Amino acid sequence: MVVEKVGSNSMANISGLRGPLWWMQWAKRGWAIAAVGFAVFVFALSVASYYRSSEPESNTANAFHHITTSDLIDLTLLHSAKDRGALCLDGSLPGYHFQKGFGSGAKNWLLFIEGGGWCNTIESCILRKHMHLGSSKHMGRRVHFTGILSPYPDHNPGFFNWNRVRIQYCDGAFIAGHPDNELKNGTELFFRGRLIWEAIMDELLSFGLSKAEQALLSGCSSGGLAALIHCDEFRHLLPKDGLAKSLNKDCVARMEPDRCIFPEEIVKNIKTPVFLVQSAYDFWQIQNTLIPKASDPHSYWQNCRLNIYNCNSTQVEILLGFRGSLLKALNDFEKNKEGGMFISSCFIHCQTLMTEIWNSPKSLRINNKTIAESVGDWYFNRSAAKLIDCPFPCNPTCYNVNFTRG
């Protein structure tokens, strides 16, 4: 599993936010869930072993490919979902994009869950009904597969010929909500993520996932949290149950359930091998959890929030502490022999779906390794893959987002 993860101290800086409506009803406290700031890959075999084959042969050329209409993957609406009540926020059918594997990857599967935050009020959930994050009526009918989903061996050497699935996110609650938690006040909001997950899994199982030799569950941002939530279940294809029952029982017995959905708690209890991908200077986390606009009324952080090179020395020191909280949270995980990590120091969010960052001549590198190479080293058991970048601004290969540009 590959996770872009925030540290516990970073999470403690979250203020003024609330979880999804279903979460507010279920939990005693409406803690904001900072896992929206990370991307996750969850490795899980659909057979009862940790068997990892050698990496498939691939073309190691580094040329970029001109994307044509043949690269566009159609949206598949899940028609079987209607009878199961597995609906998007607005009641429309959920969907996914699927590209069939071939050659040595014909029996291997890679699933990617899209991100998009969450809705935390009735108004924000209603708003999502009118966009792709809450309705298949507004989803892109055809999408390009890039980064970890790319069909080109030079862009995606480990997984280019696998069966690849891009799962659209339309329930506003990490594909984990349940109809039992819906409001009964005429708002007509459907929190059916749990049912969507089950329906998609059943359909993919019928397409060949049930016979997969290898499988990787991945996601970006809130899709990363969804991948964490469903990680062990994906591996074992456990019986159907609700989100609360999906949380680790020891954790729930030890602390309030809402705390058990924080990534550092989830990772402690996941049995599936995990690989974490995260920037220690994730711009989404900095802009929305560390220094949200509401906490900066005099716009002291405005320039820094838009371009990390505009941060003054005091702000850089605070960001360094933010990085330190992440590394502290990873102390125990770093000792996990089956785990891997790629912790960069770039001002970026979601690194695995961007081909230029995932694997290209200009890719981000730590110890001369791209993210794709590091994940491949871990997944195919070639070598240890626990890479932690030096603090900003030490890495010249970083791609740092600049929001001051038009």
What digits encode the pLDDT tens for the residues 73-95? Answer: 999 999 888 899 999 999 999 99
> Quick one: pLDDT at residue 256?
63
pLDDT at residue number 214: 84
Which residue type occupies 126? I
The answer to whether the bond into 393 is cis (omega within 30° of 0) is yes
The pLDDT, as a whole number, for residue 19 is 33
Instruction: State the pTM of this model.
Output: 0.71
Buried b (16+ CB within 10 A) or exposed e, 170-191: bbbbbbbbbeebbeeeeeebbb
Ranges of residues in the chain whose predicted pLDDT is under 70: 1-67, 181, 184-186, 237-250, 252-259, 261-262, 406
How many angstroms separate the CA atoms of 342 and 275, rounded? 8
Given 349, 363, 377, 389, the catalytic residue: 349
Specify whether 132 is catalytic. no
Angle at 229 between CA 400 and CA 350, to 5 degrees: 10
Is 221 labeled as catalytic in the residue annotation? Answer: yes
H-helix or E-strand containing 122? helix 122-128
pLDDT digits (tens, 9 = 90+) for 207-236: 999 888 888 999 999 898 899 889 888 987
In whole angstroms, give the CA distance from residue 73 to residue 165.
10
Q: Which of 171, 232, 258, 282 is catalytic?
A: 282
Where does residue 51 rank: exposed (0-12), middle (13-18), buried (19+ CB within 10 A)?
A: exposed
What pLDDT sits at residue 243?
42
Return the pLDDT at 247: 57
Residues 242 and 180: beta-carbon distance below 8 Å: yes
The active-site residue, picked from 92, 136, 218, 221, is 221
pLDDT of residue 273: 86
Residue 259: the pLDDT is 65
What radius of gyration, in Å, describes the C-alpha atoms of the chain?
20
Active site residue 232: no
Burial-class residue 156 by CB neighbours within 10 Å (0-12, 13-18, 19+).
buried
Q: In the chain, where are the structural domains located?
A: 8-388
